[in-house]
Amino acid sequence: MSPTVDAARDRGNALKCELAGEVLRSFGPARFPAIGWSMLPAIWPGDTLVVERVMHDQVRTGDVVVVGRQGKLCAHRVIGKAGDAENPQWITQGDALPAPDRPVAKNELLGRVSYLIRAGRLIAVPAELNSIKRLTAKIVSRSVPAARALVYLHRMVHASAKSAPQEPVPCQD
């Protein structure tokens, strides 16, 4: 692709991110598709993230928050706090990433993932991973082929589950 096409796509993505942030700040809950592997195994590509507006003093360690940064949205887990009462910051990290992100400023925090929708089911986001999920995250962080294999297997399992009748997802106010 040409640099012009890439630049136009980046501007389009930045506008979408800005619009999503405004929707969350102004109206409340929003839904976003998960597309990356950084939060495996808690969040899988294809999951729908239901994000609620949250005040900065309501963010806790273990929450998965959505951050708007550099024209992109990112959902990572809060692993610590930084800053002070006037300028709070949070340290976030993807469950399957080897290192934390740079601190999140108050104006970058868009909301908290309240739950996921996966294969038509509502799923709570755990505040911490159990030992098997922690091991899975470590494997994914160290091996792209392992991550691809896990995502492929996950899709196969959920593709067969989609053919079975499911209960509808209730509307959220």
Cα angle 128, 56, 47 (rounded to 5 degrees) comes to: 45
Mean pLDDT computed over 116-121: 92
3-state secondary structure of 164: coil
Distances (CA, A) of 12 to 8, 9, 16: 6, 5, 6
Angle between helices 131-142 and 144-162 (to 10 degrees): 120
> What phi and psi values does residue 88 have, to the nearest 5 degrees?
-70, 145
Res. 1: pLDDT tops 60: no
pLDDT at 70 (0 to 100): 85
Residue found under tokens 């868009």: 110
Residue tagged 């104006």 (tokens): 107
Q: Tell me which of 18 and 134 has the higher pLDDT.
A: 134
Residue whose entry in the numeric block shows the structure tokens 């887990």: 77
Lowest mean pLDDT segment, chosen from 50-59, 67-76, 158-167: 158-167
Choose among 58, 65, 52, 64: nearest CA to 24. 52
Nearest CA among 18, 46, 30 for reference residue 113:
30
| 111, 65 contact by CB (below 8 A) | yes
Predicted TM-score (pTM) above 0.85: no
Residue-range domains of the chain with CATH: 3-162 (2.10.109.10)
| DSSP conformational letter for 106 | G
Is residue 11 classed exposed, middle or buried when 0-12, 13-18 and 19+ CB atoms within 10 A define those classes?
Answer: exposed
Residue 35, pLDDT above cutoff 70 = yes
Can you tell me the distance from the alpha carbon of 21 to that of 68, in angstroms, rounded to the nearest whole number?
Answer: 7
